[in-house]
Structure 1
Amino acid sequence: MNDITSAELKERQANGTAPIIIDVRETWENEESRIDGSRNIPLGELPTKLEDLEDLKHQEIVVHCKGGGRSASAKAFLVQHGFDHVRNLIGGMQGYQQA
């Protein structure tokens, strides 16, 4: 599935059609700034949280980090484990704050 831009995500949030948003940054980063409605699961904890996410396998999920690197890894990991609608937020939190 194609990745998502900050502008598209903000538009979808504004019209009430936002996907599930998972922030894979560390907890302290999430505490400094966060996207409304996002769920914080640091990348290193993702393997242990797979069971908790099982019911989201066929829903649209957007993963993000600071700039896009960790979330690209998270996307690949989730897809590898059967999640079929995962998108990476292009530019990460930095891009989102500038959009």
Structure 2
Amino acid sequence: MGLFSGLFRKRGYTTITGSQLQKMMSNNNILILDVRSLGEYKGGHIPNARNIPVDTLSSKLSTLNSYTDSEIVVYCASGERSARACDILSKNRFNKVYNLSGGVSSYNGKLSKN
């Protein structure tokens, strides 16, 4: 039974669209988390996004402690790495986790390069 409950467990995050992200960005206490590589991030990212590649996320969770009750929107290039990151976050006491469907390309605003 443990195997099946793991397979069918409800996800601990919500998938959102680019337009939903635009509305959420007016919230000052939102964290936008880019889980792509540093090179991808430097090539263009959503303004004010913080870069923590998904492969290092588990070891850097303590740097996000102040966001446990904040909205966290996670994105990558396509949505696959961000879904993995959302699972990591939701299993580690982060309560309001959102996966940007379609990745960075679904964001309609201007990307930053800094």
TM-score (norm 2): 0.77
CA distance in 2, matches of 1:93, 1:42: 14
After TM superposition, give the deviation of residue 71 of structure 1 in Å: 0.2
62, 71, 80: which is aligned to 1:60? 71
RMSD (CA atoms): 1.6
Query: Which residue in the other structure is 1:79 paired with?
Result: 90
After TM superposition, give the deviation of residue 2 of structure 1 in Å: 2.3
79, 88, 93: which is aligned to 2:99? 88
Amino-acid identity (%): 36
Unaligned runs of 5+ in 1: none
Question: In structure 2, what residue type is equivalent to 1:90?
Answer: S
Query: Which residue in the other structure is 2:24 paired with?
Result: 12
SS of residue in 2 equivalent to 1:58: coil
CA contact (8 A) 1:6 1:95 kept: yes
Q: Whose helix proportion is higher, 1 or 2?
A: 1
Unaligned runs of 5+ in 2: 1-12, 110-114
TM-score (norm 1): 0.88
Q: Between Structure 1 and Structure 2, how many residues are aligned? A: 96
The structure having more radius of gyration, on CA atoms, is 2
